[in-house]
Amino acid sequence: MQVSFEQQDQFERKVTIEIPAESLEKQITEKLNELAKKLKIPGFRPGKAPMKLVQGRYGEGVRHEVVEKAINQALFDAIEKEKIVPIQTPHVHMIHNVSGEPLKFYAHFEVYPEVKLNDLTQIKMDIPTPIINDSDIAEVLQRIQKSHAHWTACTDASKLGHRITVDFTGVIKGESEPFTDEKDVKIVLGDKQMIPGFEEKLIGLSKGAHKQFTITFPENYNEKLAGKETEFTIDVTEIEEASLPEITDEFCKDTLNLEDGTVEVLKAKVKESLAQEANEKVRRKLHKDVLTKLANLNKIDLPPSLVKNELNILKENIEDPNLPESVRASEEGVQAEAEKRVLYSLLLGQIIRDYNIQVDQKKVQAAVMNIARGSADPEGMLRWFFEDKKRLNPVSSLVLEEQALDHLLQHISRHIIELPYKEMMAADER
């Protein structure tokens, strides 16, 4: 087999291949012999039809099949030997295809650029770690107490901390029919579970009270109600006060089902949970920042086909609210975003190869479980994923990228800084 490669431009490659006629004819003959043994042709016993008849009826189809397979195998072998990675399936063009003569064709395709990462220690970043204060732990313990509160009816006027039960209707200004009519709604005053201003209107009321008030919905509420002035009518059916349980070893063991049921164990678990929460929030920002710095450190030319594919994906999803307005606002914004995504993908791919990072299947399963928990039918969602393992591929890719970013953060110049838990949680993720 004769093979020659040509570099058309920075990314475009052309390979010309000639396959000897003897090789093809041998494969065609073997294929026809196999076929003849299985054929049932009228006038002949099964498998006994003359080869000339078999060749006349099926020779062209068999040759087409053998040629197609030979082209694919020859391309695979040639590209693998050259150690290049095509971006897409090569486009094949026939040069000479005559029975009994050598088969000659050429194929062209784009290849991935060679990426050589610069010294990662040139990337310098502050890595926050949380300081968990006693007050942070105390707030969580208080929330635990409230979640296990015992409520009893009281005759006092409603105040912060009381649980008030109401029936209410809401009518948008200018309309006659209520858009909502709710019964027995329990609201803990001060928990801010209702729209701004609603709970404040419920303070100072007694059981049996009837009240009307007007509130304007926030501009960032759902499209139907955002910014609408609304008149609510409420009737108070119950007022209750909370009796909070004391956090004791017995409470930890019997109510919270802690195996090592002590207050100190509970506090340690709360501290660990808060640290994980803060680290996870900061981790998302660190991933974005380190990827930006990696891209600034490693400028590479981008294959046009990859950018074009990413552009098409972005344009199909241009209404996605997760896309920044700067991207959606103009063609230039979409183009820049496509190029950025391709660059990030190439750099992360090189990190994965350089450090031989393998996807952690436990993390994939955890990610799938997290997706399932957020669906209307968690069990059905899990079945859907695991009925066909190919459905796990997008999740596996995301997990592998996360692992690559975590790995990258371990190989840069790191400066650990301690920050209070609340400061870390208030940090802007953008």
Q: How many helices (H) and strands (E) does the chain have?
A: 12, 11
pLDDT at 221 over 90: no
| Amino acid in position 337 | E
Q: What is the CATH number of the domain that holds 301?
A: 1.10.3120.10
Over residues 121-150, the mean pLDDT reads 94
Helix locations, 111-262, DSSP H: 134-147, 249-254
Averaged pLDDT score across all residues of the chain: 90
Over residues 28-39, the mean pLDDT reads 77
Residue 95 within a domain: yes
**pLDDT, position 430:** 52
Same domain flag for 94 and 153: no
Over residues 33-54, the mean pLDDT reads 70
pTM of the shown model = 0.70
**pLDDT, position 325:** 79
Same domain flag for 18 and 97: yes
Same domain flag for 222 and 295: no
**pLDDT, position 316:** 86
Confidence band of 252 (pLDDT split at 50, 70, 90): very high
Give the single-character DSSP code of 121.
G
User: For residues 207 and 212, what is the distance between their CA atoms, to the nearest angstrom?
Assistant: 15
β-partners of residue 136 are none
Over residues 138-162, the mean pLDDT reads 94
Angle at 161 between CA 159 and CA 165, to 5 degrees: 75
Q: How many domains does the chain have?
A: 3
User: For residues 246 and 250, what is the distance between their CA atoms, to the nearest angstrom?
Assistant: 10
**pLDDT, position 428:** 65
Write the Ramachandran bin of 93: left for phi over 0, alpha for psi from -120 to 50, otherwise beta. beta
**pLDDT, position 30:** 83
Same domain flag for 376 and 238: no
Same domain flag for 57 and 170: no
Distances (CA, A) of 82 to 61, 104, 345: 32, 19, 24
User: For residues 233 and 217, what is the distance between their CA atoms, to the nearest angstrom?
Assistant: 15
**pLDDT, position 27:** 87
User: For residues 407 and 283, what is the distance between their CA atoms, to the nearest angstrom?
Assistant: 12
Instruction: Count the neighbouring beta carbons within 10 Å of the beta carbon of residue 168.
Output: 21
User: For residues 339 and 308, what is the distance between their CA atoms, to the nearest angstrom?
Assistant: 9
User: For residues 419 and 423, what is the distance between their CA atoms, to the nearest angstrom?
Assistant: 7
Considering only residues 141 and 54, tell me which one the structure prediction assigns the higher pLDDT: 141
Distances (CA, A) of 242 to 57, 151, 378, 427: 90, 5, 34, 34
pLDDT at 429 over 60: no
Over residues 394-405, the mean pLDDT reads 94
Same domain flag for 315 and 416: yes
Four-residue CA torsion sign, 380, 382, 384, 386? negative
Over residues 270-291, the mean pLDDT reads 93
Among residues of the chain, what percentage have pLDDT more than 70?
Answer: 96
Task: Please report where in the chains the tokens 């050429």 appear, as a residue.
Answer: 106
pLDDT at 312 over 60: yes
Same domain flag for 417 and 370: yes
Tens digits of residue pLDDT in 347-392? 999 999 999 999 999 999 999 999 998 888 889 999 999 888 899 9
Same domain flag for 287 and 161: no
Same domain flag for 227 and 330: no
Over residues 302-318, the mean pLDDT reads 89
Residue 139 within a domain: no
Considering only residues 334 and 58, tell me which one the structure prediction assigns the higher pLDDT: 334
Q: What is the CATH number of the domain that holds 12?
A: 3.30.70.1050
Give the single-character DSSP code of 87.
S
Task: Produce one character per residue of 263-295: b if its CB has 16 or more CB atoms within 10 Å, e if not.
Answer: bebbbebbbeebbeebeebbbeebbeebbebbe
Instruction: Count the neighbouring beta carbons within 10 Å of the beta carbon of residue 124.
Output: 10
Distances (CA, A) of 251 to 114, 151, 243, 256, 257: 61, 18, 14, 7, 8
Q: What is the CATH number of the domain that holds 156?
A: 3.10.50.40
β-partners of residue 163 are 188, 240
Same domain flag for 313 and 403: yes
Instruction: Count the neighbouring beta carbons within 10 Å of the beta carbon of residue 359.
Output: 19
Angle at 327 between CA 322 and CA 331, to 5 degrees: 140
Select from 223, 243, 263 the last residue of a domain. Answer: 243
Residue span of the structural domain in which 174 resides? 149-243
Tens digits of residue pLDDT in 186-220? 999 998 889 999 999 999 999 999 999 999 999 88
